[in-house]
Amino acid sequence: MTLVIRGGTVVDQNGEQEADVKISEDGSILEIDKNLKGDQELDASGCVVTAGFVDLHSHLREPGQEDAETIQTGSRGGALGGYTALVAMPNTTPTMDCLAVIDQVRGLGQESICEVIPTAAMTVDRKGEQMAPMGELVDAGVGIFTDDGNGLQDPRLMRRIMEYSTGLTHRLGRPIILAQHCEIEALSCGGYMHEGAWSSRLGIPGQPAEAEELMVSRDIALVRLTGAHMHFQHLSTAGSVEMVRKAKEEGLPVTAEATTHHFSLTDAACASYDPVFKVHPPLRTDEDVKAVKAGLADGTIDAIATDHAPHTDHSKEKSFSEAPPGMLGLQTAFSITLEESGLDIHQIFSLMSWRPAVIAGIADRHGMTVSPGSRANLCVIDLNETWTVSGKSMASLSSNTPYEGRHLRGCVRHTIQTGEAVVIDGEAQR
């Protein structure tokens, strides 16, 4: 059975063309041309057809917090948001720090409608004390290691992990990516939002920008020392962006991501005391938002990630300081980027698909050009249609979106996962 996406504008690394896309039964693109016919046809008139998005930073909560999200529901939300691959963070219960849990996640991922790429913790149970069995995990195909949720505090252990990872490159066939959640806890502890004028006024203890920046600075120095590849997660401050820019100019093997909320929201949102705006790293100032956007525009930041972090209503029905940090992102990321980033569509696709696919080591099947022979992981988006954000109607089991009620432009119409239309007309098919 062949599938044809008809009447859309194909956008990829090589430019734009109005053409139909014909996909074979085995999930690869057969032909790009006008007036193609297939057994199944999807209407893409008025839409762009491009490679599916790749999220470098999703919390799918399974195993351990299946009341907040499962791999199945998270993937459904991802597919509805135009994603075809999600990099799953390892802060599950139990932690993804050993083969058994990685296998479980991968197995559940295979039954879901997004490809789920498991990461593994750098240290056992993400405690920052003992290195995880990285060699064994690399042999099982894990390419990204992170203690996300925590930064790795101990500089000596960080150095050892970086050194050790460089010895595993040949076993993976590409450099191991160490992804750091940059936060010096001695500076941030007891703080629940960005430290500044708003935190002072609201009486919510703050975390200074320096808590993030000191770790970015430390890790850049350690990259220089060890040659390991460091990926900076959710950069949120102007200082961090500037340091990464300098490190790249120097030619160091560093990459970085920014989340949609860090370039669309500021600490002023915390004035409602609604913990839906509580996130780590915290929402920063206007200046920081500007710097993150500039970093996205000039290529300092390689990817837009979601840091999709579902939490049940019950767990968010607490005071700002007691509630857990995190917000939903998968279904809003593209529209928010379209509205807020100031980037053109090619830049956006590059940041949401093409470049993160390379960082995740999945460029052989995601973020590819839309051309014959490529794996058919695609999304079809109507850039002009608008929709209204509603946490309750999202695919996620949780509803903690910070954009509730916002009218946004850009609707994902169809998503194709390895040739299968998993989202048709904005409805998940399974």
Q: What is the nearest approach in angstroms of another protein to the Cβ of residue 344?
A: 36
- Which residue from 66, 274, 340, 404 is in contact with another protein, where contact means CB under 8 A? 274
Q: What is the nearest approach in angstroms of another protein to the Cβ of residue 404?
A: 13
Is 404 a residue that touches another protein (CB under 8 A)?
no
Number of residues that bind another protein (CB under 8 A): 23
Q: What is the nearest approach in angstroms of another protein to the Cβ of residue 325?
A: 14
Is 320 a residue that touches another protein (CB under 8 A)?
yes
Is 364 a residue that touches another protein (CB under 8 A)?
no
Is 317 a residue that touches another protein (CB under 8 A)?
yes
Please, which residue, 119 or 237, has the CB nearer to another protein?
237
- Which residue from 63, 273, 325, 420 is in contact with another protein, where contact means CB under 8 A? 273
Query: β-strand 115-118 against 427-428: which pairing, if any?
Result: unpaired
DSSP string, 36-73: ---SEEEE-TT-EEEEPEEEEEE---TTT-TTT--HHH
- Which residue from 154, 322, 364, 425 is in contact with another protein, where contact means CB under 8 A? 322
Distance CA 58, CA 144 (A): 13
CA angle (29 as vertex; 27, 34 as ends), nearest 5:
135
By rule CB under 8 A, what string of x and - marks binding of each residue 7-46 to another protein?
----------------------------------------
- Which residue from 14, 93, 200, 384 is in contact with another protein, where contact means CB under 8 A? 200
Q: What is the nearest approach in angstroms of another protein to the Cβ of residue 284?
A: 13
Torsion of CA 291, 295, 297, 298, to 10 degrees: 130
User: Catalytic residue at 307?
Assistant: yes
Is 208 a residue that touches another protein (CB under 8 A)?
yes
CA angle (400 as vertex; 293, 191 as ends), nearest 5:
70
- CB within 8 A of 246, min separation 6: which ones? none
Please, which residue, 104 or 321, has the CB nearer to another protein?
321
Q: What is the nearest approach in angstroms of another protein to the Cβ of residue 276?
A: 11
Among positive and negative, which fits the CA dihedral 224, 364, 336, 277? negative
Instruction: Identify the active-site residue in 274, 307, 344, 425.
Output: 307
Is 204 a residue that touches another protein (CB under 8 A)?
yes
CA distances from 27 to 44, 330, 360, 376 (A): 19, 24, 21, 5
Distance CA 241, CA 244 (A): 5
Token pair for 101: 């849990």
Part of the chain binding another protein (CB under 8 A), chosen from 18-26, 49-57, 161-169, 203-211: 203-211
Q: Phi and psi for 378 in degrees, rounded to 5?
A: -135, 160
Q: What is the nearest approach in angstroms of another protein to the Cβ of residue 196?
A: 5
Residue 356's beta-bridge partner residues? none
Is 314 a residue that touches another protein (CB under 8 A)?
yes
How many Cβ atoms are within 10 Å of 165's Cβ, its own excluded?
A: 25
The terminus-to-terminus CA distance of the chain in angstroms comes to 19
- Active-site residue list: 307
Binding site for another protein (CB under 8 A): 195-197, 199-206, 208, 272-274, 314-315, 317-322
